A and B are shown apart, each in its own frame.
Chain A
Amino acid sequence: MKLRAENLSLTAQGRAILDGVSLDIPTGVSFGLIGPNGSGKSTLLRLLAGLEPRAQGHVMLDDTRLRDLPRREIARRIALVEQQADTGDALSAREVVELGRTPWLAALQPFGPEDHHIVDQTLAAVGMTELAARHWSTLSGGERQRLQIARALAQRPQVLLLDEPTNHLDIHHQLALLRLVSRLQVTVVMALHDLNQALECDLLGVMSGGRLIACGPPATVLTPERLRQIFRIRSTSLRDPSDDAQILRFHCLEDER
């Protein structure tokens, strides 16, 4: 499913948090969002999910305006994993994932075999099958993050919005998650902090001060000059001898004066 943003803006407390962001993300592409803290990545993801009624501009899903779709229809197409999610409810891990079926079930319709199957499958996909009976409060940050991703997958979305999905994950689960996401046949937009992980995306967008200042394939976007400007770092590009893949190494500018 194609995702397009036209001139998205959001002002809060007299400050432009998002300022005229336009995007065009083709079907099935993985789109990485990078930018310093507070540059508006999370806000942009919330707007793309249609969760900000005060926003200006449009989000288009294929040829439909997000605003013209009922909430439930949006939730069947777009799933969002926010940066932090917490609950005081004594939910089991499985019950968290079951929430993902909400948009597919009528008010009084019970869970069907298909729903149970999808929940089993997504729990397995994030390696949480063993922990399905555990309570939310007893899970680690990484386990919670994986559950939220499983919940989003259980929505069977065509667009997956992930806000720093590798946060809290150990290195194995980071790689497993990125591999899982790259194999999905859906459009993925994710905010990332690890620029080497961002290199693996099909397209990258760079956020700074609420504006999208660059957008394109990673090689053209992640130039040393731009990294210096935006992140205030010096970067060197290396090659992995085993497969000749590009790797970035970073140095603090302050150390070099």
Chain B
Amino acid sequence: MNVLDIRNVTKTFGDFAAVDNMSLSVREGEIFGFLGANGAGKSTTIHMVSSLLKATKGDIEILGKNIAKFPRFAKANIGIVPQDLAIYEQLTAYENVRFFAGLYGLRGSLLQERTEEALEFVGLGDKAKSFPKSFSGGMKRRLNIACAIAHRPKLIIMDEPTVGIDPHSRNYILQSVRKLNEMGCTIIYTSHYMEEVEEICTRIAIVDHGKIIAEGTKEQLKAIVTDTKEIWIGVRSEEGVGIEALRSIPGIVSARIDDGMIKLQSKAEINNLNEIIQQLIRSRADIRSVEEQAPNLESVFLTLTGRNLRD
């Protein structure tokens, strides 16, 4: 059964199409990754699914029911974790979660139970009576998640839930996503961090300019890049490394330097490793390591768009 069906959906702002004739299905039990650069149209898509925006064209169904015809049914089955923190500073963690869960019709002792459960789940059980202003960025993010799950929605949509937080909180959140999934929730996970998406998602759609340019499991996506290979060369100093000269070597698709690591993409069928090394020796780079990387989502994105995900 599909939890979500998006059919030929377009959303225009003025004459700019933020989402352009998109079609997409999410099956029950998936952790569906929605990967794309900033401005690709991820949030806009999510906002249409959660009835915050109306699609200009196309249909959206939640659990087989059209959201325009059954808005309450759709809304009741979705929990949304917004990209920006959406909590009240004047309410305690407990009051925040209880308030939002109450809007989904929970009452009395059940409301209290689910609120406590949600706070426990994100590891804020002992902070129930504290106000968000005493929280770290990661704790606020976790509260942001608790507010979306207390009513036990079938579909949880997370819009970049790990932006700007410490590694500890990030791991905590990624683990919570897996746990929620094990508990039976279907999850749509939006991110522009390909490592995260690669780590937890069972299926991934890559979005660019409002369109889905590739969709499938990690393995299926990586199979797209059989014709390119990725070469990483560690250097002691970035100075004097002639990136331009490397780019002009036959077969090289792209070259960049990132924290002492030269990252090259090259056509798979051309063996140009000798020329690359010679060029680096000429420019007196102090080579520390050379390795050929297995294809990752970054290279998939690069192959498909000719751009890097983070640019």
Q: Do A and B come from one complex?
A: no
